[in-house]
A and B are shown apart, each in its own frame.
Chain A
Amino acid sequence: MSVMLQTRDLSKSFPVGRRLLGAPRGFVHALRPTSITVEQGETLGIVGESGCGKSTLARMLVGLMPPSGGSIEIDGTALDRADPAVFGRMIQYVFQDPSGCLNPRQTIRQILDAPLRLLYRMDAPARAARIAELLDAVNLRAEFLDRYPHEFSGGQAQRIGIARALAAAPRILVLDEPVSALDVSVQAQVLNLLADLKAQLDLTYLFISHDLAVVEAVSDRIVVLYFGTVVESGPAERVFASPRHPYTKLLADSAPAVGRPLLKGAEGELPDPLNPPPGCAFASRCPAATEICRRDTPPLRIIDGDQFAACHHPLAP
């Protein structure tokens, strides 16, 4: 197995209270220095709640947002943000809102045509053949090509979004909540389609979601983000079954499940991003927090084999 995607200390901070001249008044650290590795052919699940930095990470990976620090390497070469055509052929993005990512005034043919023409400089017959192939790959009929996005249901629009990403023939797909806007019966259709495509086209996936059950069902490995930091990572079958970080455990216990009583007594929310607390960001909500948690930021360390957690007092399996 070779490493397909690697970030080294990738970080992003946004200035707050910008002034006309001079330095801004402060920074919000949307993503603290983060290093992740994705193997070729793997599906890495990224889980976290709103404000945890998962979308910031995704947008930096596909070049839509410049990082504040660190580096991104795809298949051994550093990501070159200068030429969108180069990384567009390596890594593509599937958006959360299926209808928002399609221009309402373009037909499906025009939408799928652009990457072929601009990224691969294909001639007209080659493009037509490739578009037919793409539509077939996402199980849509060819008669849809000359229709406009508003004529499609959410599930169909998401298939078109996936076809648009695949048109660039990337090695990696970043899927940012690809099914959370869809109905459950359609959600399963799209997840299965993604699994088939991955096998057929030998793709590598980064699957971002807030839905733990969905992530667990599709991922090989899972990374849990909290407040811009990786708090736990490990094999999908172990992360939620035997969480080592208290936040992962809280997440797993919060997910509604038939036959489990409602979680009581877990109050508290994210800390204020403008005034982050010292030490572990989860300490104020953590039942096991001690003095050291409120003073020192715990580093991400090996807990058990390939399971990592950033916690001073990791839970027993």
Chain B
Amino acid sequence: MRVFFALLFRNRLAGIGGVVLAIIVALVLLTPVLPLQNPDVTAMGDRFLRPLSPGHLLGTDALGRDLLSRLLWGTRLSLAVGFAAAVAAGLIGSAVGIIAGYAGGRIDNAIMRFVDMLMAFPYILLALAIVAALGPGLMNALIAVAAVNVPFFARNIRGITVGLASRDFIDAARLSGKGHVRIVLTELLPNVLPVIVIAMSTTIGWMILETAGLSFLGLGSQPPQADLGSMLGEARAAMISAPHTSVVPGVMIFLIVMSINLLGDGVRDALDPRLKSGALTRPMAATRVARRNVPEAQGSGLLQIDDLEAQFHVGRRVYRAVNGVSLSIAPGECVGLIGESGSGKSVTALSVMGLVASPPGVITGGAVRLADEDLIGAPYARLRALRGNKVAYVFQDPLSTLHPLYRVGDQLTEAITSHHRISAHEARERALKLLADVRIPNPAARLSAYPHELSGGMRQRIGIAMALANEPEVIIADEPTTALDVTVQAQVLALLDDLRRRKNVAIVFITHDFGIVGQLCDRVAVMYAGRIVEEGPTERVLSDPAHPYTRRLIACVPELGGGRRQLPAIPGLPPAVDQLPEGCAFAPRCDRATPDCAQGEIGLRGSLRKVRCIHPEAEVGA
């Protein structure tokens, strides 16, 4: 709750709206006990008294009634009616929306078509028709305004419900013995409630305006009862001679609707979970860099990463995702980067081209050199010239990296023409050749296909073709086969292996699968808690792991042909990267750990093979 108010008042306009509304609400709540004159008593002698007249602070209206008194009583009524209409519309609309969204199929179809029909009428016409049928009166105006706003709630809530109703937890509730009513009330409703509150807070202002509109037309409150709309309506005849009679209720309507709308927007933003995580802020074009010094190059690879440090700054917390990673990749070499989720392998890869989202990501140290040119902190124009050109990426899920609304051929040619000035015809020829290169059958027809028309394996081939489009020197593949079936995975891996040998492309292959590393990579680096804990030629690391983490990770992955067995699991969990322990991060889970493992900095030892351990399983040599 405190967090909610802090977020709400961070938006200054919402704060102003809240204060204004609070004053108005306090005033109308106090109206019955305030020393006000009777709002309905006429005094023809005191007609049209100007504001600040003795005894009448805001003056009087055409019948000599006290305007201040009528204003407060009228505001009280208008607020009550608007609020009641919003609650009624919210309740009925949400109920309709939840039922339609949960039931689905024909029921959903029937309900939503009826709602669409209601929405097809201009709302004021519909409200007029309802009041005409029911007769004038404040209660009927309330019903009309509520009815007019039901479709808005119904459509909104149905959309949310449809998304929730297909989630696994609804099925889980069904298996727990819950019936439809219980599922709607205990599973769906708590999840849509914030949306209902948001929708209500942003529409209540409209409903007050609409009720005022009906009263203005004489269809709402009946004389002598005052509400803001009827006050305006009665003042219309004297608008020129006694403008204050219409200005007073007009200003009040303005203040109410304005403050409610400002507050409603604030509530919406404060309740939006995306805002809390900072996701609504658009990431910068390149990762923010805040490093003190540039380390010396430790090797002479085509892609040379030295002491890279990347962090995420969320609020006061600092997540140290990458802590001093050094890696050297030679031309045409395939290096595997292996680790579990949260080990920093993807952040390392994204840092190379400044692709870590900022905020919250910051590169706090190290250097990434491509052919001796430092890319960390390079100007955006330079990074852009290199991205997809010299260094290309292949991501895990091709469905989310390909634009769903463009044909794959257009996306492929765009990848080429953004780095090369060639004609559309030439670009198409190249795109065709690329598709043939990644062994897509019938490439000419596939160029005009949309991503959703292709299978997962075909989409990933397109992703690889895009990466190859500008003949890069380095391809960074971030779990490119994790989303694919095994037989398709084998095809894609064979393709990648073949391409790198034919085109002499260096590949950084990020994965969690030792089998893939064993089949594809020349060298492998194992990451744990943001650091490389072991590195070396693939065969030797896999057959004779030196770091206890590597050995145990390999042991707990079942291998085909091993038969039925108990797997030697690693107890515990990797450490949270905002609370890294001193010394070796694996020590708390390690069976070889001694007290000195939790002290000081443990360096990466060795040259050809490296290990970050003071009690290694195997000697790595100097």
Give A contacts to B, CB under 8 Å: 49-50, 59, 62-64, 84-85, 88, 92-93, 95-97, 100-106, 111, 114-115, 118-119, 153-155, 161, 164-165, 167-168, 183-189, 191-192, 195, 210, 212-214, 216-220, 236-237, 240-241, 250-267, 269-270
Contacts and interface: CB of A to CB of B under 8 A. Distances in A.
Interface stretch (B59-67, B82-90, B199-207, B516-524): B516-524
B514 A258 contact: yes
B2 interface: no
Contacts of A264: 494
Interface string B406-445: 0000000000000000000000000000000001010000
B584 to A, nearest CB: 16
A189 B571 contact: yes
Contacts of B455: 269-270
Given A256-B519, A262-B497, A164 B172 contact: yes
Given A97-B168, A119-B176, A192 B516 contact: no
Contacts of B493: 256, 262
Contacts of A161: 172
Contacts of B520: 262
Nearest to A189: B569
Interface residues of B, number: 65
A220 B485 CA distance: 23
Contact of B175 (A92, A189, A260): A92
Contacts of A97: 168
Nearest to B182: A118
B564 A183 contact: no
A118 B564 contact: no
Contacts of A252: 560
20 contacts: A49-B488, A88-B176, A100-B168, A101-B168, A102-B169, A103-B173, A106-B187, A114-B178, A118-B177, A153-B573, A155-B573, A168-B175, A186-B340, A188-B568, A213-B557, A213-B558, A251-B487, A256-B516, A266-B491, A269-B458
Nearest to A236: B564
Given A260-B519, A267-B439, A250 B562 contact: no
Contacts of A96: 168
Given A168-B175, A185-B553, 12 more contacts: A88-B176, A95-B171, A100-B169, A114-B176, A114-B177, A115-B176, A213-B559, A213-B560, A240-B560, A258-B514, A262-B493, A266-B487
- Cβ-closest 8 pairs across A and B: A256-B515, A258-B518, A118-B177, A188-B569, A49-B485, A254-B490, A188-B556, A101-B168
A96 B561 CA distance: 25
Nearest to A254: B490
Contact of A220 (B341, B518, B564): B564
B51 interface: no
B567 A191 contact: yes
Contacts of B563: 216-217, 236-237
A22 B136 CA distance: 47
Contacts of B514: 258
B178 A118 contact: yes
Contacts of B570: 185, 188-189
B172 A254 contact: no
A262 B487 contact: no
Nearest to B177: A118
Given A103-B187, A103-B191, A262-B493, A185 B565 contact: no
Contacts of A165: 175
Nearest to A167: B176
A230 to B, nearest CB: 18
Nearest to B549: A185
Nearest to A185: B570
A168 B177 CA distance: 9
A44 to B, nearest CB: 13
Residue from B341, B491, B542 having most chain A Cβ neighbours under 10 A: B491
B479 interface: no
Contacts of B571: 189
Nearest to A260: B519
B560 A212 contact: yes
B560 A184 contact: no
Contacts of B190: 103, 105-106
A219 B563 CA distance: 9
Given A213-B559, A257-B560, A183 B486 contact: no
A98 to B, nearest CB: 9
A262 B490 contact: yes
Contact of A164 (B176, B566, B568): B176
Contacts of B560: 212-213, 216, 240, 252, 255, 257
Nearest to A48: B485
Interface in B306-363: 340-341
Contacts of B176: 88, 114-115, 118-119, 164, 167-168
B486 to A, nearest CB: 4
Interface in B491-518: 491, 493-494, 497, 512-518
Given A184-B553, A185-B340, A240-B560, A84 B573 contact: no
Interface in B83-142: none
A254 B567 contact: no
A186 B589 CA distance: 12
B178 A256 contact: no
B620 to A, nearest CB: 19
Contacts of B173: 103, 114
Contact of B565 (A59, A164, A217, A263): A217
Nearest to A155: B573
B592 interface: no
Interface in B517-572: 517-520, 542, 552-553, 556-571
A213 B556 contact: no
B508 to A, nearest CB: 18
Nearest to A193: B569
A169 B490 CA distance: 40
Residue from B176, B520, B552, B561 having most chain A Cβ neighbours under 10 A: B176
Contact of A257 (B441, B456, B457, B559): B559
Given A62-B175, A106-B190, A262-B490, A216 B564 contact: yes
Contacts of B519: 256-258, 260-262
A103 B564 contact: no
A255 B489 CA distance: 9
B167 interface: yes
Contacts of B439: 267
A269 B457 contact: yes
Interface in B141-182: 167-169, 171-179, 182
A150 B191 CA distance: 14
B455 to A, nearest CB: 6
B487 A102 contact: no
A263 B567 CA distance: 27
B282 to A, nearest CB: 25
Contact of B174 (A84, A106, A260): A84
A269 B454 CA distance: 11
A206 B182 CA distance: 29
Contacts of B561: 216, 240-241
Contacts of A95: 168, 171-172
A52 to B, nearest CB: 9
Contacts of A164: 172, 176
Residue from A102, A250, A257 having most chain B Cβ neighbours under 10 A: A257
A188 B518 CA distance: 20
Contacts of A102: 169, 172
